[in-house]
Structure 1
Amino acid sequence: MPTLAGIYRYAIKSSAAEALASAHVQLEGLRHDRRFMVVKPDGSFVTARRYPVLQTVTARFDGARLTVLHDDHVALAEACADFDYQSFATRVWADDFSAWTTTQRLDAWFSRVLGEPVHLLWLGEQSPRYRDKIDTRVSFADGYPLLLTSEASLADLNARTDGTHVMAQFRPNLVVADTAAFAEDTWQRIRIGPVTFRVDAPCARCVMITVDPARGQRRSDGEPMQTLLRYRKGDDNQVYFGQNLVAENEGAISTGDTVEILA
Structure 2
Amino acid sequence: MSAIHIVKEIYIYPIKSLAGISCQNAKAEEMGFENDRRWMLIDADNQMITQREHRIMSQFYPQITDEKITISFKDQIHEFSINENLENSIKVNVWDDQSEVVEVNQTTSKWFSEQLGFECKLVKIIKNGDRKHESSRLKETFNVSLADGYPYLLIGTESMDFLNEKLAEKITIKRFRPNIVISTQKEHEEDNLETFKIGEVQFKNVKPCGRCVMVNNDPANGRLKKEPLKTLSKYRNVNNSVLFGTNIVSLNSGVISVGDEVVF
Category of TM-score, reference length = shorter chain: over 0.9
Q: How far has the Cα of 1:126 moved from its partner?
A: 3.3
Name the structure 1 match of 2:92: 90
TM-score by length of 1: 0.93
Name the structure 1 match of 2:132: 130
Q: How far has the Cα of 1:64 moved from its partner?
A: 4.0
Task: Determine the C-alpha separation between the residues in 1 that align with 2:66 and 2:149.
Answer: 23
Q: How far has the Cα of 1:218 moved from its partner?
A: 1.1
Alignment RMSD, CA only? Answer: 1.5
Counterpart of 2:260, as a letter, is D
Task: Determine the C-alpha separation between the residues in 1 that align with 2:99 and 2:170.
Answer: 39
* Contact map agreement 1:32 1:62 (CA 8 A) in 2: no
Task: Determine the C-alpha separation between the residues in 2 that align with 1:136 and 1:161.
Answer: 36
Name the structure 1 match of 2:9: 6
Ranges in structure 2 where 5+ consecutive residues have no aligned partner:
none
Ranges in structure 1 where 5+ consecutive residues have no aligned partner:
none
Name the structure 2 match of 1:159: 165
Task: Determine the C-alpha separation between the residues in 2 that align with 1:232 and 1:108.
Answer: 41
SS of 2:44's partner is coil
Aligned positions of 1:2-151 closer than 5 A: 2-61=5-64, 64-73=67-76, 75-80=77-82, 82-133=84-135, 134-151=140-157
Task: Determine the C-alpha separation between the residues in 2 that align with 1:120 and 1:28.
Answer: 19
SS of 1:132's partner is strand
SS of 1:135's partner is strand
* Contact map agreement 1:32 1:61 (CA 8 A) in 2: no
* Contact map agreement 2:128 2:144 (CA 8 A) in 1: no
Which one is further off, 168-177 or 76-85? Answer: 76-85
**Alpha carbons of 1:78 and 1:188: their partners in 2 closer, same or farther (altered >3 Å)?**
same
TM-score by length of 2: 0.93
Q: How far has the Cα of 1:152 moved from its partner?
A: 0.9
Q: How far has the Cα of 1:83 moved from its partner?
A: 3.0
Task: Determine the C-alpha separation between the residues in 2 that align with 1:57 and 1:25.
Answer: 24
Task: Determine the C-alpha separation between the residues in 2 that align with 1:251 and 1:80.
Answer: 20
SS of 1:179's partner is coil
* Contact map agreement 2:155 2:180 (CA 8 A) in 1: yes
**Alpha carbons of 1:108 and 1:212: their partners in 2 closer, same or farther (altered >3 Å)?**
same
Q: Deviations over 1:187-211 (max 9, x none)?
A: 1111111111111110000001001
SS of 2:164's partner is helix
Aligned length: 257
**Alpha carbons of 1:91 and 1:199: their partners in 2 closer, same or farther (altered >3 Å)?**
same
SS of 1:259's partner is strand
